[in-house]
Amino acid sequence: MVILVTGAGGFIGGHLVGELLAQGKSVRGADVKPLSEWYQVHEGAENLVADCADPVQAHKMSEGTEEIYNLAADMGGMGFIENNKAECMLSVLTSTNMLVAARDAGTKRFFYSSSACVYAGDKQTDPNVTALKEADAYPADPEDGYGWEKLFSERMARHFREDYGLETRVARYHNVYGPEGTFEGGREKAPAALSRKIAEAKLSGKHTIDVWGDGEQSRSFMYIDDCVRGSQEILHGENIEPVNLGSSELVTINQMIGILEEIAGIKVEKEHDLTAPQGVRGRNSDNTMFHSIYGWEPSITLHDGLERTYGWIYDQIKSRY
CA-to-CA dists, residue 263 to 144, 260, 283, 307, angstroms:
35, 5, 25, 6
Encode burial over 50-66: b for 16+ CB neighbours within 10 A, e otherwise: bbbbebebbbebbeebe
User: 10 Å Cβ neighbour count for 220?
Assistant: 24
Q: Which of 69, 112, 119, 146 is catalytic?
A: 146
Closest CA to 220 of 176, 160, 266: 176
**Is 223 noted as a catalytic residue in this protein?**
no
Euclidean distance between the first and the last CA atom of the chain, given in angstroms as a whole number = 46
User: Inter-axis angle of helices 224-236 and 11-22, to 10 degrees?
Assistant: 70
Largest CA distance in the chain: 60
Active site residues: 146
